[in-house]
Structure 1
């Protein structure tokens, strides 16, 4: 399922249950009021709490959805690229767009206001020229000069209005215009003046009849300027014979459209200046639509009422390209000239509505080739940026896919491992760190799979060894034989699950006992199998030899003769049979003895085994060695020896697992220490003697595990 919709809803907690309960109660109260018309007390509070509960639950679900969405590394990488790559690109694009918007608006305003200032200067020059012409002309010709001059000027200034005061005589142009005189009459007007709902460019030129000079306007008509203090009685200081010329150029739709042809729509927005003592609440009902402007400490509110007539109805230029957006910009509010001193103080801003392409056409002198070149250059740069961005996106997506694919494959691999399937392998491509990580995962699963197979094989072998151990325990004598004149006991402690040492007791009759001890070359399964073979061969040979002796009458227990079993012959047969049926490297040391309980006679053959010890009183005698180990050479010759056991004599047979264990200094336990332990415990039972010897060996090595199979047979003549 797509992770956007794979949202697992957790169990509701106590707070969540309360929130859901509030929503349910609010819904029930709403239904009761709507359907049944019941008035539920406290419904408003309940609804408010339900809104809070809905918000909290929505917030928790949103967090849960975001966590689920970002669970996959791929989604995290996509979000990372969005924040690292796309968000800065959007911010830069927005910054460039905002800068272009501001620059376009500011340039458009500059073009319009510069042209307006230039025309205001021309109008001021026209008024000044008329003053100088009137000063130079005789008084009788001045009226004719005024009409002819203004008629000629009206051709360049459509809708021009004028008021000329010459030596107390007033001339209004065009005749019958009804232009009221400014108050006070001597005030100097310049810039833009508002009469009713109309705006005018005003130019004022004056000259005393004697020496006054003309003052042309030197600053922008739309620039914010501080309010000039006018001295009371300034007008009265003017002489009545002063020459004054006031020119008014209407700023109507057609005139504003000619300021910058092709630029866009030009209009005026009027404001009221809110004084520092006026609060916002006091002027709230006296403002018109539009934003309130704050310039430093000054606050300008839109003027209520209808919009002024000084607004160009010229439509916006058609967009030259797709992103040729409309731009609206205006100047800072500037004070308008008051025609009468008691008129309300009004501020205005020049507002421009244009497009970047229109500004480009004006800046580059209406040159289509230049504009097209700029557009083509910008398109080329934008295309280059887009190609670089797409290339970066492709590279980023490729790297992201590599990362997420490797992580996803590793996740799937861990899921297979979690199910116990270690045969799953990750497809590896590349030579980066993630590819090496995938290879390491494959090597790890392969090693684990191999170890599991080895573990299974080990368990199988352990099971087989356990079976072999149980079988071998069945091969060892279950209990020592009971003889009237001999106490004998054998013990075998295996270093592993099964032992390669061997001991056996065969009670031939009430007076006859055959016993053996051996040490097979090798340990574990191979030694145990060879030990089982030796036991089987020995019992077969012993049964055959004992049968022949019984048939010859050798079993007569009442004749008083000493029983001497042919141990050498039996060991020779065992050697040959073992040699023929086993591999050359398999052999064993072997001690075989036949005991006559009636006479205490022990007949034995020692085939390369460690000589058993005969403890008589406090003396120690080592029994003979009568030949080579069995199974090594086919024609080895063996002899047999005899020894008569006295009452109290102790025979101790053992394997090298008793004498050869080493301590931490690599020193062997040795026969001397064995003899010392046996001599100190010679009067104790065979079981106690064996336990003391095993304990002494364990104390010597200092480790609980055995270094080799440890086997002992202890016999005492009673």
Structure 2
């Protein structure tokens, strides 16, 4: 009897050493489970076992031996997902097993293990429980470490994207008597897919634009940074707005793999001729306010990046413009929802713009944002919000 007990202790010690060495060697999860299986077979003389673990909220068998049917990949019956954390074995009628025990770590169920247990081997079974706990906790710690590394990598990626996006927006916007431009940007995430710009073309002309890329987060920000670089390069090469749009569309089509698209509005104003040339590429309704009333700038072409070449394209000119107010925005503004699931919508925005606009365009943006916050109540914004306003006094 003593020799038998010593043999068991030797086997347990060998098993513990093998498992500990495997954990210390930082082996992959699958390799740890293989060593666990062979250790049980060789050192502990376990005849039947099925170990179930959870991944992506689904429980499947990861280790199995000794049974008539192969259980690898089979799902865990629902009633065993609620096993309480306790020492010792629990009786079960699951297939060819008569005992089951849960493996917990910090109140989290890591595994459910079925065995065909001999009640005379109580000490052996408790050791099996402890050994399983060691291997499963090691696997859980590896998962948490991997998750932490992925989060850290994403955080660094996000910081880079934020820095890149900060370079997208102009450092300064004109605020002189004949030209005032003001912008507001509120990303839904730390980075977003909205973009606005002001580009001085020559002493008489400037370009103002706003854009919204499909999608959110880092991919959208990176696509938009490529778009901005292309736009600024093209403006240095040509003042032809139609040609600029055709090239932007081609660049977006290639870089977005025809899977992402960009809505875009651009206007070029000439102080000398008093002409505003614009194009709307599938963007929201842009509001032009003059002494004669409101005009909506909707025409031009479809979204950029979906077709190459564009199925149709037209730039439009509005002449004899010496004083006007241009308001541009992205759909995160009009698609803000309140607690009754109603959208803010364009008509509410139009009524605001029809009213008296403050001389301070920043104050005007704050006014809109205040109304938007009051409208949404406790609801969160679900998209990036961007506004770009332009006031011209060219007399």
Report the TM range for the smaller structure's normalisation: 0.5 to 0.7
Query: Does the C-alpha gap of structure 1 residues 707 and 402 become closer, same or farther in structure 2, counting only changes over 3 Å?
Result: farther
| Corresponding position of 2:62 | none
Matched, 1:627 2:301: yes
Aligned to 1:664: 339
> What corresponds to 1:577 in structure 2?
251
Q: 1:684 to 1:447 in 2, by over 3 A?
A: farther
Give, in angstroms, the shift of residue 461 of structure 1. 1.9
Give yes or no for the alignment of 1:450 onto 2:143: yes
The separation in 2 between residues aligned to 1:701 and 1:651, in whole angstroms, is 25
SS at match of 2:191: coil
Establish whether residue 568 from structure 1 lines up as the match of residue 261 from structure 2.
no
- What SS does the corresponding residue of 1:475 show, helix, strand or coil? coil
Aligned length: 301
Asked if the contact 1:483/1:510 (under 8 Å) is kept, the reply is: no
Q: Structure 1 residue aligned with 2:315, among 637, 640, 652?
A: 640
Counterpart selection for 1:695 from 361, 370, 373: 370
Pick one of 313, 326, 330 that aligns with 1:651: 326
CA distance in 2, matches of 1:448, 1:705: 35
Aligned residue runs from structure 1 range 55-94, under 5 A: none
Partner of residue 686, structure 1: 361
Which runs of no fewer than 5 residues in structure 2 stay unpaired?
A: 41-45, 50-88, 90-100, 102-125
Quote the residue 1:145 is aligned against.
none
CA contact (8 A) 2:339 2:378 kept: no
Offset of residue 635 of structure 1: 2.3
Describe the SS at the equivalent of 2:167.
helix
Partner of 2:192: 499
- Paired with 1:615 and 1:458, the residues of 2 have a C-alpha distance of 47
Give the CA RMSD over aligned residues: 3.6
Report which stretch shifted further, 510-519 or 647-656: 647-656
2:385 maps to 1:716? no
CA distance in structure 2 between the aligned counterparts of 1:482 and 1:545, rounded to whole angstroms: 26
- What's the counterpart of residue 271 of structure 2? 597
TM-score (norm 1): 0.38
Once the two structures are superposed, residues 378-431 of structure 1 have per-residue CA deviations (whole angstroms, 9 ceiling, x without a partner) of: xxxxxxxxxxxx5xx678x4799599969x969x97xx89xx999896956345
SS in 2 for 1:590: strand
What is aligned with 1:509?
Answer: 202
Residue aligning to 2:237: 544
Aligned pairs for 1:271-420 (under 5 A) are 390=1, 397=5, 401=9
Q: 1:444 to 1:517 in 2, by over 3 A?
A: same
Q: Secondary structure at the match of 1:649?
A: strand
Give, in angstroms, the shift of residue 645 of structure 1. 7.2
SS in structure 1 opposite 2:390?
Answer: strand
Q: CA deviation at 1:460?
A: 1.8
- Distance in 1, Cα, partners of 2:366 & 2:274: 26
Which of residues 146, 152, 158 is equivalent to 1:465? Answer: 158
CA contact (8 A) 1:610 1:656 kept: yes
CA distance in 1: counterparts of 2:367 and 2:273, whole angstroms: 30
Q: Match of 1:713, SS?
A: strand
Contact 1:681–1:689 (CA under 8 A) maintained in structure 2: no
Structure 1: stretches of 5+ with no match in the other structure? 1-389, 547-565
Structure (1 or 2) with the larger CA radius of gyration: 1
CA contact (8 A) 2:242 2:314 kept: yes
Cα–Cα, structure 1 residues 394 and 668, in superposed 2: closer, same or farther, change >3 Å? farther
Contact 1:618 1:679 in 2 (8 A): no
Distance 1:498 1:601 in 2: 35
How far apart are 1:593 and its partner, in Å? 0.7
**Which position in structure 2 is the counterpart of 1:324?**
none
Go from structure 1 to structure 2 and tell me whether the alpha carbon gap of 1:692 and 1:401 turns closer, same or farther (over 3 Å shift): farther
How far residue 477 of structure 1 moved from its aligned partner, in angstroms, is 0.4
Which residue among 351, 360, 363 is the counterpart of 1:676? 351
TM-score using structure 2 length: 0.65
Q: More strand per residue: 1 or 2?
A: 2
Alpha-carbon distance in 1 for matches of 2:218, 2:287:
30
